Chains A and B, each alone.
Chain A
Amino acid sequence: MTAMPETALAASAASGWSRRAGTLALPALPVVLAFALAAIVLALAGHDPVDVYGQLLTEAFGSRQRIASTLAASTPLILSGLAIAVAFRAGAFNVGVEGCIYVGGLAAAFAGFTFTGLGPALLPVALVTGIATGALWMLLPGLLRARLGVDEVVTTLMLNFIAISLTSYLVNGPLLAPGAANSATPMIADAARLPRLFSGINLNAGFAIALALVVLYWLWGRWTAIGFETRLAGLNARFARATGLDVPMLIIRMMLMSGAIGGLAGAVHALGNVHRFVAGFSPGYGFTGIAVALLGRGNALGILLAAILFGALATSGATIQLFTDVPVEIVNILQGMVMIFAVARFGLLFARRKAS
């Protein structure tokens, strides 16, 4: 046996997806419950919840342009949800996708304003730089978990804060745009920008990349040997080991994969939306991604739909704050509650009480 630290966390993390999310309630229930509780918050603050929700719906899906901004807002969430789901499948809980988004975004932006002589190759180079940086960022926690049994929840959580501080140091110091007072890098070259998918509509190729990855994720889990092995390792690591699988190696590979997708999320955000790297780059995409992966129950279509739900909330919440006095934070309240209720087993309330 590997020397596991005697933490309850390590034991619980070991069985990953199956233990953490295998017993989810009906996918709609957490959403309904979150909206019901948020309605109470809205009513207490003197707003008509039905009215507010109606406005959110219109702002999110009411026109082609609005649907486009919803899909644009869901793009980083699709990717971070996939990043978390991939690690979950292998039985590892990667809380560090937020950090991957930061380092991946900064690396992609750096490539985008530095290697400007590359011409049309600049965009793919910048994307790959972000992906590679995100993967490298997860190498240490992957190795520590697989080889030494160090709890990846704690290491990846800590790495988030390191990533945020490190990138914030870099954009305030060595990578600060010349002449800029605020913490931001120079703008990336035009060749590094993700092109728009349709002219006149604010939706860039990042969404197409995210969609392609959803399909790949589905194919990977369903049809590939490594996808099957990963699921096996996540469901029952001991059985997987007994069948001859190198489970530690699998965990390292899936942590790298998770980091790579997280880095891609950062790269797409930098090259498609922000066009540079700024301090406070991600509004918690990596954490919302956990809610996305949980609500989607690790299922490709589920992740896509959950990301669109949260993307819709983010974009419409920001809009209605402009036109009404409903604070945009109602969106955070909803997100957090969906996340909590997604893992609550409400069936236990009705189960016969065991002698306890």
Chain B
Amino acid sequence: MIDNIIHSALIMTTPVLLAALGGLINRVGGLVNIGLGAMMLSGALVGFLVAADDGSWPLALAAAGLAGAVTALAMSLIVTRLGADEIIVGLGLNIVVAGLVRFFLKSHFHTSGTLGLPAVTMLPRYDLPGIADLPVLGAIFSGHDILTWMSWVLVPATVWFLARTRAGLRLRAAGAAPGPARALGLAPLAIRDISSVYAGFLSGLAGAYLAIGVVGIFNEGIVAGRGFIALAAFYFGRNRPVATAMGALLFGFFDAIQIRLQGRGVPAELVQMLPYAMVIVFLTLVAVAARRRAQKVDVHD
């Protein structure tokens, strides 16, 4: 029972964590990405199509990441080169991509909503010998696929990248102070575009995870708002990778528990509200704390 919940919570965490880490890098680079869901959706569709008919899963992942990256690049260029507002472009992108996907399903496959294809290659899951049979530890560490491992390896890697590398410093500079960064010879807009492409790539993988890692069919609603959950996760984590991962994990647990609570008479809709409500509460607490600090400083002056 506990093992089941842990295992499915980790599975539900993976797509959110991938997209959230991408969105985090994007935001550090100076672009708040509201379009993560659109990138997940295009990744899910492309990954699913490539994996069908006994396709190769590494190829499917690569194609999904590419689809997400291209979607992100289109969005980023409109924001950085045409001076468009990122929030509006992100919301618009979600509408356009959802429309394009449904349009494509109807005109190409003559189906609306759900697409099932024969012989979809699923992401392989690996059982770790010796650990797989242990209680709790087995559920945490064993029986996962490459994307889950990758998403968790990316957490310390992102910390290290932002804090310790030259590229990380440049990314932070481009996001926090584009003017001075330009004066130092950096190209902040190009850096921002690259961070968007990275976010799109990870979101595309996250989408493919949903399609060929979890369910094995494609549905127009497969992303189910996870792009916004990812946004909630890095807002919750205030751009810090570890806190963001904790947020994603919490949301993964909500997702896993919700399925079980449904059977016990707790309405799923109320559980679904929790991640979003938590973000509002959390942002409020942060603002209150910041105001307290500011007042203290005033007194000491």
List A residues at the B interface (Cβ < 8 Å).
Answer: 1-3, 5, 7-9, 12, 19-21, 23, 41, 45-46, 93, 95, 140, 144, 148-151, 153-155, 157-159, 161-162, 165-166, 168-169, 172-173, 284, 287, 290-291, 294, 325, 327, 329-333, 335-337, 339-340, 342-346, 348-349, 355-356
B273 adjacent to A345 (CB under 8 Å): no
- Smallest Cβ-Cβ distance to B271: which chain A residue: A165
CA distance A239 to B279 in the complex (A): 32
List B residues at the A interface (Cβ < 8 Å).
Answer: 27, 30-32, 34, 78, 81-89, 91-100, 102-103, 106-108, 175, 182, 187-189, 225, 228, 231-232, 235, 267, 269-270, 272-273, 276-277, 279-280, 283-284, 286-288, 290-291, 293-294
CA distance A327 to B86 in the complex (A): 29
- Smallest Cβ-Cβ distance to B34: which chain A residue: A157
Decide yes or no: A340 and B283 within 8 Å by CB, A172-B269, A356-B182 being known contacts. no
B269 adjacent to A169 (CB under 8 Å): yes
With contacts A45-B107, A153-B87, A158-B276 known, what are 12 further pairs, Cβ within 8 A? A154-B235, A157-B228, A158-B228, A159-B276, A165-B273, A168-B269, A172-B267, A287-B91, A336-B96, A339-B92, A340-B78, A344-B83
A3 adjacent to B287 (CB under 8 Å): yes
Q: In the complex, which residues of chain B have a beta carbon less than 8 angstroms from the beta carbon of A339?
A: 88, 91-92, 95
Q: How far is the CB of B289 from chain A (nearest CB, A)?
A: 9
A356 adjacent to B187 (CB under 8 Å): yes
CA distance A21 to B283 in the complex (A): 27
CA distance A219 to B94 in the complex (A): 35
Q: Say which residue of B86, B106, B279 sits within 8 Å of A154 (CB atoms).
A: B279
- Smallest Cβ-Cβ distance to A151: which chain B residue: B283
Decide yes or no: A335 and B32 within 8 Å by CB, A45-B103, A344-B82 being known contacts. no
CA distance A346 to B84 in the complex (A): 9
23 contacts between A and B (CB under 8 A): A1-B294, A3-B291, A7-B32, A8-B27, A12-B85, A12-B86, A12-B87, A45-B108, A144-B280, A148-B288, A158-B276, A158-B280, A161-B225, A162-B277, A165-B269, A166-B269, A169-B267, A331-B99, A332-B96, A339-B95, A342-B88, A355-B182, A356-B187
B99 adjacent to A329 (CB under 8 Å): yes
CA distance A169 to B267 in the complex (A): 7
CA distance A159 to B288 in the complex (A): 20
Q: Say which residue of B82, B93, B98, B286 sits within 8 Å of A349 (CB atoms).
A: B82
Decide yes or no: A337 and B92 within 8 Å by CB, A329-B99, A330-B99 being known contacts. yes
CA distance A257 to B32 in the complex (A): 27
Q: In the complex, which residues of chain B have a beta carbon less than 8 angstroms from the beta carbon of A2?
A: 291
Q: In the complex, which residues of chain A have a beta carbon less than 8 angstroms from the beta carbon of B93?
A: 336, 340
- Smallest Cβ-Cβ distance to B190: which chain A residue: A356
CA distance A294 to B290 in the complex (A): 34
B276 adjacent to A340 (CB under 8 Å): no
A5 adjacent to B95 (CB under 8 Å): no
Max chain A Cβ within 10 angstroms of own Cβ: one of B82, B100, B103, B106: B103
CA distance A12 to B94 in the complex (A): 21
CA distance A327 to B272 in the complex (A): 31
Total A-B contacts with CB atoms under 8 angstroms apart: 166
Q: In the complex, which residues of chain A have a beta carbon less than 8 angstroms from the beta carbon of B182?
A: 355-356
B107 adjacent to A327 (CB under 8 Å): yes
Q: How far is the CB of A82 from chain B (nearest CB, A)?
A: 17
- Smallest Cβ-Cβ distance to A44: which chain B residue: B107
A290 adjacent to B99 (CB under 8 Å): no
CA distance A336 to B32 in the complex (A): 18
Q: Say which residue of B32, B82, B107, B284 sits within 8 Å of A8 (CB atoms).
A: B32
- Smallest Cβ-Cβ distance to B286: which chain A residue: A5
CA distance A337 to B182 in the complex (A): 31
CA distance A339 to B32 in the complex (A): 17
Q: How far is the CB of A51 from chain B (nearest CB, A)?
A: 15
CA distance A195 to B67 in the complex (A): 49
CA distance A150 to B58 in the complex (A): 42
CA distance A220 to B95 in the complex (A): 32
Q: In the complex, which residues of chain A have a beta carbon less than 8 angstroms from the beta carbon of B99?
A: 329-333, 335-336
Max chain B Cβ within 10 angstroms of own Cβ: one of A2, A5, A336: A336
Q: Say which residue of B92, B102, B188 sits within 8 Å of A336 (CB atoms).
A: B92
CA distance A140 to B287 in the complex (A): 14
Q: In the complex, which residues of chain A have a beta carbon less than 8 angstroms from the beta carbon of B108?
A: 45
B95 adjacent to A287 (CB under 8 Å): yes
CA distance A327 to B27 in the complex (A): 35
B95 adjacent to A327 (CB under 8 Å): no
CA distance A12 to B83 in the complex (A): 12
B287 adjacent to A144 (CB under 8 Å): yes
B98 adjacent to A332 (CB under 8 Å): yes
A335 adjacent to B95 (CB under 8 Å): yes
A165 adjacent to B272 (CB under 8 Å): yes
Decide yes or no: A5 and B88 within 8 Å by CB, A327-B106, A336-B96 being known contacts. no
Q: In the complex, which residues of chain A have a beta carbon less than 8 angstroms from the beta carbon of B294?
A: 1, 3
A140 adjacent to B78 (CB under 8 Å): no
CA distance A3 to B296 in the complex (A): 12
A329 adjacent to B84 (CB under 8 Å): no
Q: In the complex, which residues of chain A have a beta carbon less than 8 angstroms from the beta carbon of B32?
A: 7-9
